[in-house]
Amino acid sequence: MVSAESLEGPPQQTMKHFGVTKPISMAGPTDVDLQRSEELQKFLVDAGLYESEEEDIRRKKVLREIDQIVKDWVKLLTQQRGYSDQMVEDANAVIFTFGSYRLGVHGPGADIDTLCIGPSYVNREEDFFIILHDILADNEDVTELQPVPDAHVPVMKFKLQGISIDLLYASVSLLVVPEDLDISNGSVLYDVDEPTVRSLNGCRVADQILRLVPDIEHFRSALRCLKFWAKRRGVYSNVTGFLGGVNWALLVARVCQLYPNAVPSMLVSRFFRVYTQWRWPNPVMLCPIEEDEIGFPVWDPRKNPRDRTHHMPIITPAYPCMNSSYNVSISTLRVMIEQFQFGNKICEEIELNKASWASLFQPYLFFEAYKNYLQVDITASDDDDLRTWKGWVESRLRQLTLKIERDTYGMLQCHPYPNEYVDASKQCSHTAFFMGLQRKQGVKSQEAQQFDIRGTVEEFRHEVNLFMFWKPGMEIYVSHVRRKQIPSFVFLRSVPLGSSSDSLQSRKSPVKEEVEGPPKRMKLSPEMSSSSSPTLEMKESPLVGPCSTSPQTSNTGSSAIEVEGKHQEGLFDYKHGSLVASVESSLSSAGVDFYGFGRAPPGGIETSEGKNMSACSSSVRETAIIKLVSQMAPTQGYSSKDGLVSLVNMKGFEEKAVVTSECGRAEVNH
């Protein structure tokens, strides 16, 4: 690793050149700049951004324990697979860190991004996500274990001795993994799949960033400051369409290259000056993009049409070079540019001694910025279900922003806010997100122009409800609220997305206060008094509000069968797992509405009388084909002999089950 001391030694005229262009300025700090840097450093310390020595020791101890766990795991698998005693002795796995911990900018309570690298015969699908998962589950020091095998970068999340860990796995083309493995060498990428490349690149990018900045300590101080600023101003969240940790690191590193002799106070000021004037979508790059004979695709808008659609390209410096900020939309880019302008204005005032550093970190008053908002309420039966459900919904919120942009032709701008809010008065587990809405600025429009986003919201809800691990109690409600309708629980406490304090139970405020009930779902909004505010049309929701009393599934619930437009009444007997109809049907399909469920789940677990019915979903927008495996009774219940049920989109995106069988008859039992 390049040290700060080694970079400060050479005189300026022989200093190594960093970046894809020449520096903007080689000027060093004045006495005033040094004083401002000291004041900035004191502000960051007082703000609690540095962890204690005791916590640092705890982290190192936990990392050593993880390293030993994965080493024992690989030796166990090597022995079980019949390798020689010498092979078992040599078997090894190594742990690398990346993200904020590797860059040296983590704060108290932050998670540790870790990568386990194992030999070629230890795979991710079974060995990592099943065998290692079970080993961790049996460890009494491990809590909140959550495997996410289907993520873009597959990850195992858990806490070890109270410290949050994100653990990735990469199997490299080696029978024995050396303890001193150099992952910066491109040879580690030979004969591996793309998820493995993405897993390896977290570490490779972090190491490359540290190699490409002139002064590591100055870089760290500036990055720590700007990450804190981004969180205070509501623009720190990759999943919501803003920027995450690696994105901010790359932006700061580029400014360090452009001002190689600047101290932190100068770098923060120059950061806002540079990115206020940056002409997006020109890419931010720390080094030239290199191609390799390995053949992985790299970011290149000349060859790849999809790359031309990126609004704010920030390119990773390790092969294969990718755009790390592909989640940014037109709306979120607009918000970030506005915040860069705010930061630039404050820094200019600081340089004129008209403001202090505290002014830069004023929290963004999101709920005073707009007259109209979308409120997204998420509920589940318990905290564990909510953690899983919330993670899925968070990953889809960006799609709602994109759909609103698409369906209003960019005329309705959407500002997703990357904080979540908990209503502690609810009996169920709950969290809520908000999005600010406004008409596109600077464009003449008709008086009281209306935007009908009912279909947009329904489409979003429908896609979210296709979650394959859906369980009863997992619900999402989207409503339009005006500024004066914002519920009071919003102003009690908020939790930033990605917060290290991710325990849902700990986030429930102990304060018991009168809070406003949730606004009526999907209600037509009243006329807006200001012509600059959009009038939104949203549909009355057929669903009950969050955590309100919903119909309970009975042991024998009433159902109905629709056959070619005819309506047949019948009973669905949960005890025997069959649909008992009053009229026999010999036709090939039957539509079934299941009483006791607001919807027939397109995926997940449906619970009844202690038994369950699981479904695996393969879906498109309007139709999902699922295979029902009934454990409710020896019979197949309401599935057919071939087990296929088609969920067909109906009015309001409510589903009906169309049951088909191999024999061409609906399986309607008497």
Q: Evaluate if residue 630 carries a pLDDT over 60.
A: no
Catalytic residue chosen out of the listed positions 33, 37, 71, 111: 111
Phi, psi of 364 (to 5 degrees): -75, 125
Catalytic residue chosen out of the listed positions 33, 113, 127, 215: 113
Catalytic residue chosen out of the listed positions 71, 75, 227, 403: 227
Q: Is 100 a catalytic residue?
A: yes
Q: Looking at residue 493, what is its pLDDT?
A: 57
Pairing state between β 112-118 and 163-171: parallel
Read off the tokens for 68: 């030993």
CA-wise closest residue to 228 among 44, 451, 36, 51: 44
Q: Looking at residue 290, what is its pLDDT?
A: 85
Q: Are 579 and 559 in contact (CB under 8 A)?
A: yes
Per residue in 290-306, pLDDT (tens digit) is 887 688 889 999 999 99
H runs (alpha helix) in 259-324: 264-277
Q: Where residue 536 falls among pLDDT bands split at 50, 70, 90?
A: low
Q: Evaluate if residue 53 carries a pLDDT over 80.
A: yes
For tokens 């930061």, the residue is: 343
Read off the tokens for 512: 């018991």
Tell me the CA distances in angstroms from 365 to 21, 155, 222, 268, 467, one per residue in order: 38, 34, 24, 22, 33
Q: What is the mean pLDDT of residues 638-664?
A: 33
d(CA 114, CA 126) in angstroms, rounded, equals 19
Q: What is the mean pLDDT of residues 211-234?
A: 97
d(CA 493, CA 422) in angstroms, rounded, equals 7
Q: What is the mean pLDDT of residues 646-657?
A: 32
Q: Is 227 a catalytic residue?
A: yes
Q: What is the mean pLDDT of residues 8-19?
A: 53
Q: Where residue 15 falls among pLDDT bands split at 50, 70, 90?
A: low
Q: Are 485 and 445 in contact (CB under 8 A)?
A: no
Q: Which residues pair with 169 in a beta bridge?
A: 116
Q: Are 235 and 243 in contact (CB under 8 A)?
A: yes
For tokens 């998420």, the residue is: 378
Q: Where residue 646 falls among pLDDT bands split at 50, 70, 90?
A: very low
Q: Is 166 a catalytic residue?
A: yes
Catalytic residue chosen out of the listed positions 236, 373, 417, 421: 236
7-11, 88-92, 582-586: segment of lowest average pLDDT: 582-586
Q: Looking at residue 590, what is its pLDDT?
A: 30
Read off the tokens for 97: 């860190």
Q: Is 236 a catalytic residue?
A: yes
Tell me the CA distances in angstroms from 120 to 67, 78, 92, 302, 663, one per residue in order: 18, 11, 11, 36, 47
Catalytic residue chosen out of the listed positions 33, 71, 75, 100: 100
Q: What pTM, to 2 d.p., does this model score? A: 0.73
Catalytic residue chosen out of the listed positions 33, 127, 166, 215: 166
515 versus 272: the higher-pLDDT residue is 272
d(CA 600, CA 592) in angstroms, rounded, equals 9
Per residue in 352-405, pLDDT (tens digit) is 999 999 999 999 999 999 999 999 999 999 988 998 899 889 888 999 999 999
Q: Are 156 and 211 in contact (CB under 8 A)?
A: no
Q: Is 550 a catalytic residue?
A: no
Q: Looking at residue 150, what is its pLDDT?
A: 78
One-letter amino acid for residue 66 of the chain: I
Report long-range pairs for 175-182 (Cβ below 8 Å, ≥24 apart).
175/87, 175/119, 175/120, 175/121, 176/87, 176/90, 176/91, 176/92, 176/119, 177/92, 177/93, 177/94, 177/117, 177/118, 177/119, 178/92, 178/94, 179/92, 179/94, 181/94, 181/117
Q: Looking at residue 16, what is its pLDDT?
A: 66
Q: What is the mean pLDDT of residues 616-644?
A: 31
Q: What is the mean pLDDT of residues 252-271?
A: 98
Q: Evaluate if residue 14 carries a pLDDT over 80.
A: no
Q: Are 656 and 567 in contact (CB under 8 A)?
A: no
Q: Evaluate if residue 544 carries a pLDDT over 50.
A: no
603 versus 74: the higher-pLDDT residue is 74
Q: What is the mean pLDDT of residues 500-522?
A: 33
552 versus 52: the higher-pLDDT residue is 52
Q: Looking at residue 362, what is its pLDDT?
A: 94
- Total residue length of the chain: 670
Read off the tokens for 154: 């597959």
Q: Is 113 a catalytic residue?
A: yes
64-78, 264-278, 494-508: segment of lowest average pLDDT: 494-508
Instruction: Work out whether the CA dihedral 481, 483, 485, 490 comes out positive or negative.
Output: positive
Read off the tokens for 464: 């979210």
d(CA 229, CA 226) in angstroms, rounded, equals 5
d(CA 210, CA 6) in angstroms, rounded, equals 13
Distance, CA of 341 to chain centre: 26
Per residue in 607-619, pLDDT (tens digit) is 222 222 223 222 2
Distance, CA of 274 to chain centre: 28
Per residue in 164-184, pLDDT (tens digit) is 999 999 999 999 999 999 999
Q: What is the mean pLDDT of residues 83-107?
A: 96
Structure letter (DSSP) for residue 124:
I
CA-wise closest residue to 579 among 606, 564, 561, 567: 561
Q: Evaluate if residue 587 carries a pLDDT over 60.
A: no
Average pLDDT value for the chain: 76
* Residue 466: count of CB within 10 angstroms of its CB: 21
